[in-house]
Structure 1
């Protein structure tokens, strides 16, 4: 079998548009050769077809029009905003079209109107709507709890470092959304219930569901000194000497497990009670988690002025 002719320029090393290649003199039959794949109509990339998310975005940019920008879940992944697992495996890319133009229609592309006031910024050289506009657009895809978690991330940053938006700006943008907007209620609720301080999406969801159910607001990742040791609990009620820790998958690793055990002993020595919550518990039976934490708070002296119960229509997904 004859080996396909080399591609001119650097097209062997990057995604490119069919139109661009034809204008450069590449024969149409060469663009149908078996060493090339078409991730989107009108685009080509060298096989083997990689599933690298950013590379797919780069492939689509070869056919984007002026004013088009990634939005929604696609922009969220580029900004690092945490999303439920189902979006990590999503193949479709979400693109906002410029005012006065039609939405981009291609297989594998979800078109959307541009959020009012959205700015286009560059992330790794890709056109992406600004973080707050991305968050507003996420209301089409996320539950209220995950909208809160996304907002927490924007105003806190990853691991508490590098916030990418200001809480005041976010609230102002929501307040400016005209009445009748399809997702205005969810956005207003999320803007009022976001909190700076959570260091991960599950921590945000855990804090949100506890407070939503009537429990008092905890401190989030605030350092406490016990003897000569500094401890940073996920959620802490100092008045009731209670800590809640979210134990993700990495907490099962030997080294992390040993650290968690040592920290729990330090807290226990200081007469601070610890409740551990796993991913299976949080996303599988959140009502049970709420009841457990409520019981520990009551044991410590908290007196609820009303019945603690899960709010209706709450959807939690891993």
Structure 2
């Protein structure tokens, strides 16, 4: 597992690696001590900082990205030079897809399962709770629309 994660650090973003670390830990395949030792021995790998980011995010409670849309969104944020959000971590005790605590901003990418009535009720309840605490929640069915909403929000709030 350590060698696989090191090799993948050359092509995956931190949030994708975090998802793999999360799954490996769930399956009892992760030995963090062995992973860090392997990282110290890994010559020629120049993106170990990405793997270190993934480890730290996982230790802080992130599950990494959970869908292609989430991964595409994170890659697009990086390409646009936008600040890195916390990914699949809790805001006020509620796990959200992406959030920037300093801006109290949340982005949720809602796949098809969010069209089911019970899920819509849960989403609305969560959004109401977070909004009451001062958070802005942007929901979109695709990562492209999420980026568009994020750009609009950022443009509107730049002094």
How far apart are 1:162 and its partner, in Å? 6.8
The one of 47, 51, 57 aligned to 1:191: 51
Between the aligned partners of 1:249 and 1:169, the Cα distance in structure 2 is 39
Aligned residue number for residue 275 of structure 1: 138
Between the aligned partners of 1:260 and 1:239, the Cα distance in structure 2 is 22
Gaps of 5+ in 1: 1-130, 225-229, 304-318
TM-score under structure 2 length normalisation: 0.66
**Aligned to 1:216, what secondary structure does the other structure show?**
coil
Aligned residue number for residue 38 of structure 2: 173
In terms of fraction of residues, the more helix-rich structure is: 2
Kept in 2: contact 1:222–1:233 (CA 8 A):
yes
**Aligned to 2:129, what secondary structure does the other structure show?**
helix
Call closer, same or farther: CA 1:152–1:162 in 2, change over 3 Å.
same
Call closer, same or farther: CA 1:223–1:268 in 2, change over 3 Å.
closer
How far apart are 1:293 and its partner, in Å? 1.8
Between the aligned partners of 2:148 and 2:49, the Cα distance in structure 1 is 23
- 1:249 corresponds to 2:112: yes
- 1:261 corresponds to 2:127: no
Gaps of 5+ in 2: none
Call closer, same or farther: CA 1:274–1:166 in 2, change over 3 Å.
farther
Aligned residue number for residue 296 of structure 1: 153
- Map Cα deviations across residues 13-33 of structure 1 (whole Å, 9 max, x no partner): xxxxxxxxxxxxxxxxxxxxx
Aligned residue number for residue 153 of structure 1: 19
Report the number of matched residues.
Answer: 151
Kept in 2: contact 1:149–1:201 (CA 8 A):
no
- Map Cα deviations across residues 100-136 of structure 1 (whole Å, 9 max, x no partner): xxxxxxxxxxxxxxxxxxxxxxxxxxxxxxx222334
Between the aligned partners of 1:208 and 1:215, the Cα distance in structure 2 is 10
Aligned residue number for residue 124 of structure 1: none
Between the aligned partners of 1:172 and 1:162, the Cα distance in structure 2 is 20
RMSD across aligned C-alpha pairs, in angstroms?
3.6
Kept in 2: contact 1:264–1:274 (CA 8 A):
yes
- 1:134 corresponds to 2:1: no
Between the aligned partners of 1:205 and 1:193, the Cα distance in structure 2 is 18
